Amino acid sequence: MEAIAFYIFAILITGLFLVTAFSRNILYAMSSLAAGMVLISGLFFILGADFLGAVQLVVYSGAIMALYAFGMMFFDATRDVKEKNTSSYLVFLLSGFSAVALVVIFAAPTIGKHIEPIVTAPQGLDNPHAIGAVLFTKYLIPFEVAAVMLLVAMIAGIVLASKKMDESLSEIYLDADPETEKKEQE
Amino acid sequence: MTIGLTHYLVLSAILFSVGLAGVLRRKNLLMLFFATEIMLNAANVAFAAISVHIGDLSGQMFALFIMAVAASEVAVGLGLLILIYKKYGTLNLDNFSIMKG
Amino acid sequence: MENYVYIALFAPLVSSLFAALFAQKPKIQLVGIVTSLLIGIALFASVILFMNIEETGKAVSVTLMDWIVVGDMDTKFGFSVDQVTVVMMTVVTLISTVVHIYSNYYMESDKSFNRFFSYLSAFVFSMMILVMSDNFLGLFIGWEGVGVCSWLLIGFWYEKKDETRDVNPSISPSWAANEAFIMNRIADLGMLVGIFLIYWNLGTFKYTEVFAHIGDLSHTMLIGIGIALFIGAMGKSAQFPLHTWLADAMEGPTPVSALIHAATMVTAGVYLVIRANPLYSQIPEVGYGIAVLGTFVAIFAASMALVNRDLKRVIAYSTLSQLGYMFAAAGLGAYWVALFHLAAHAAFKALLFIGAGNVMHAMHDELDMFKMGGLKKVMGWTFLYMGIGSLALSGIYPFAGFFSKDTILEVAFNEHTYGIWFILWLTAGLTAFYSFRQVFLVFFGDERYHEIGAHPHEAKPYALWAMAPLAVAAVVVGFFKEDFVEFVTKFLPEYEMSEHTEHMVVILTIITTLVALTGIVVAYLKYAKGLKRNLEFEQNNKLYKLLYNQYYIPVIYDRVFAKPYKELSDIAWKEIDMQVVDASVDGIAKFVEKSGDVSRKAQNGNLSSYLNWMAAGLVIIIVIAAIAVAVQ
């Protein structure tokens, strides 16, 4: 049962991500990415990392993809992306090679022999509780730092994206001349 | 047939390579971002799998923090993308060669 | 009491820094006064410490700070003032104070007046570290410090041009300074080896701890340490064969010669042997070797002093000779005798040098004694001082030298080393001869200075008053011998004469005094009535020429070491450095430039291609990781 679920998920995820990586249409790419992330949360559930699965759904599939979706409103999403892929030969060589190498490393039986758990899950708690217990004890400071980082990122995002909100984008990139642009800014 | 750690790791490696291929192939900055998300997710899968396998919660913690970093990255990155788009009217990487040495 | 230790140590440092503030400025009289006062304060603190230690009999120890704490090594920057140290401190600060005050007169028209005082005080500070440190490492710091200051001061008139050896045997001040420094480097290597051996075997640098456990070491190791340390002492105290620098060091200003190259720094080697007496008393055979070398140097240097015409060089050779005496005493195990002679010698030798400084000043820097004569009339006080100094040096009762040198002879007799005794006895006669040859040549006889157009004049009164303490010391120190013995033997091993020697003391004293008197009488007969030069003798007598040219040792060193070394350096420069080192460095530079030219094309500004490069790097790293895993 587990195996079936895993293989289905694995094949689907790989396929969807391949679409993301190679599609010409931004909308297709984004949709398949969102679907793939939902399916990855399925993998987490199979693993028993329930909390992580939930977070994956909420943060990735929910927040991040929504952010991309909103972000895309600034760009023209309907057009096909014209890309000049100079050497797909090199691309496949590099990524294929890294894939093979990684698979060899991970498939090698030596991995994990010497690993010992440092932070073991507290006894008698299910996964979300255990995560909460560890997160707010041992990982409290990184957690706080991450919170501040998110705040900073939020402010940065707002500031960056909101510049010249009142001007129409189409007007700007019709006469998209860097020189005049600079003068305007000054 | 049981699904062991190796299965997850191999899947993770494949996904990572797909992401890498995307990063290398894409010239559109937004697409590049998508590809990096794929790579991050691949890493998350590996973290979670190992974490569950050896019974150590650190891996899941790291996956959580990666998600936080990814969220921040998207927020800032998209803001920058919008600025670039406003300035140059395109997101094609080949059009930016201001770092030519 | 701890505060006095700090005052004695740091007053010279403050003095040096104060003078250094004005080093580039023209003469400021205040600098001379302030530095003299500060050194005087150090003298005052030393005297207080002296009285305190005499009262309590206990050493005063302070720890300034942790110095080197690495792993097991924990060395403190500590100072300990015990009986030996306080004697050295008092001697050093007394002579320094006198020399500082005197330098106000001697350097009064020198354009680098302020710089001179800065160096001089820095020297006093280094010397204080040397004698006060409670461990070998601090001693070494002071040891190097006095070396540097000596170098600075010998080469004080560095702008003088080099001359040939016939015109000026020490070529030039900067040459002499370098010679002194390099010779000391050679010796310091030996000293460092000794200190390393001590640490290696005992794991500590501190005197008290080292000497408490010195008996645990094997005899061979002790001999090794003893010899290595003595090599260091040989350099600083200019013992044969590292002696040539001392005579050349007379190129420095005369107060420097008085302070550094007669009274204090050159006695550091003797101080080291005295300080390490628990070590040397374990290895009497090395001690005997030291004594033999000291004896040899005593007569060797005295023989060169017999014929030299340079006023300062004669005194320099006599310093060498007296250092030989000290080493003879220390080597034979009579450490307090060596220390006593050190203190007495410091007083009368500084007096002699300062007197020579007066004469030089009067004669407009002329040093050839054959061109002086009859100065007694114009320089009565200087004559008196130099007369006292010479009498003390010759060992005539009741001057200081009589007590200290006589005791050394008694020690040599007591140890049944009659050869050493005889040579030292003979040297005592030579000493008396050359020191009075000098006095008679300078102050008696016909007034030859008219020929060179000099107008001699007596030194200023305050300079003469500054010399008075030394003269008094040279006269009276001997009478405090018993007190001194009682004082220092609380720390140093006692030295008892056998009964046989006790019986012989009177006879020994008489024959020593006799030989000294003979020397004086011969000098009187030959030189007091006026100079009769025998030019044919001077030019043709082989022995005379041998002595006059310092046994040709500087020339030999020049031929054997300096010249081949220069040729070797030339080869190393032209063949090895230019052809190999420079070429390879240039090659690397060219390679980098060329490869930069080629790889610059990679920086095309296209982010996408940068990403490709990054991925290639990633793949390489993964492959390396895979290989590493596979190897495991």
HEC string of chain A? Answer: CHHHHHHHHHHHHHHHHHHHHHCCEHHHHHHHHHHHHHHHHHHHHHHCCHHHHHHHHHHHHHHHHHHHHHHHCCCCCCCECCCCCCCHHHHHHHHHHHHHHHHHHHHCCCCCCCCCCCCECCCCCCHHHHHHHHHCCCCHHHHHHHHHHHHHHHHHHHHHHCCCCCCCHHHHHHCCCHHHHHHHHC
In a domain, B96, yes or no: no
Q: What are phi and psi of A175, to 5 degrees?
A: -105, 55
Determine the Cα–Cα distance for residues B58 and B40; give it in Å rounded to an integer: 17
Encoded tokens for C19:
């003078």
Both tokens assigned to C376: 């007694």
d(CA A112, CA C208): 58
Q: Residue C73 corresponds to which tokens in the numbers above?
A: 């090594």
* ipTM reported for the complex, 2 dp: 0.88
Mean pLDDT computed over every residue of chain C: 88
Nearest to C131 by CA among C183, C93, C188: C93
In a domain, B64, yes or no: yes
| pTM attached to this predicted model | 0.67
8 A C-beta contact, residue B4 and residue B54: no
* Cβ contacts of A130 on chain B, cutoff 8 Å: 57
- Which residue, among A98, A102, A114, would best test binding to C if mutated, counting the most C CBs under 10 Å from its CB? A98
**Torsion angle, alpha carbons of C577, C581, C583, C584, to 10:** 170
Q: What is the mean pLDDT of residues C70-92?
A: 86
Shortest alpha-carbon distance between residue B98 and chain C (Å): 6
H/E element, C76: strand C73-81
Q: How far apart are CA C103 and CA A122, in angstroms?
A: 84
Q: How far apart are CA A149 and CA A164, in angstroms?
A: 25
User: Quick one: fold of A1-79?
Assistant: Four Helix Bundle (Hemerythrin (Met), subunit A) (1.20.120)
| Domain hosting residue B77, numbered range | 8-89
* Highest-scoring range by mean pLDDT, A107-121, C116-130, C394-408, C553-567: C116-130
Strand-pair category, C60-70 with C73-81: antiparallel
d(CA C404, CA C87): 15
Q: C606, B93: Cβ pair inside 8 Å?
A: yes
- For residue A134, give Cα distances in angstroms to A115, A125, B52, C377: 19, 11, 15, 102
C342-359 average pLDDT score: 90
The stretch B28-42 carries a mean pLDDT of 89
Q: Give pLDDT, residue A186.
A: 45
Angstrom distance (rounded) from CA C616 to CA A95: 9
Spatial separation of the C-alpha atoms in residues B33 and B23, rounded to whole Å: 8
Number of domains in chain B: 1
3-class secondary structure, C161: coil
Domain presence at residue B26: yes
Judge whether B30 lies within some domain: yes
Mean pLDDT of C544-548: 81
Give the mean model confidence (pLDDT) for residues C501-518.
86
Domain boundaries, chain A: 1-79, 139-186
Residue B24 at interface with chain A, using a CB cutoff of 8 Å: yes
Measured CA angle at C413 (ends C409, C417), to 5 deg: 110
Mean pLDDT of the C346-366 span? 88
Q: What's the pLDDT band for A110 if we cut at 50, 70, 90?
A: low
For C69, the 3-state DSSP assignment is strand
At residue A181, the pLDDT reads 47
Q: What percent of chain A has pLDDT over 90?
A: 23
pLDDT class of C604 with cuts at 50, 70, 90: confident
For chain A, positions 57-116, list CB contacts with chain B under 8 A. Answer: 59-60, 63-64, 67-68, 71-72, 74-75, 81-85, 88, 90-92, 94-96, 98-99, 102-103, 105-107, 111-112, 115-116
Q: What percent of chain C has pLDDT over 90?
A: 32
Distance of CA C417 to the CA centre of its chain: 28
Contact indicator for C64, C79 with CB cutoff of 8 Å: yes
Residue B101 domain-assigned (yes or no): no
CATH number at residue B65: 1.10.287.3510
| Euclidean distance between CA atoms C474 and C349, whole angstroms | 9
pLDDT in tens, C265-310: 889 999 999 999 889 988 889 999 999 999 999 999 999 888 888 8
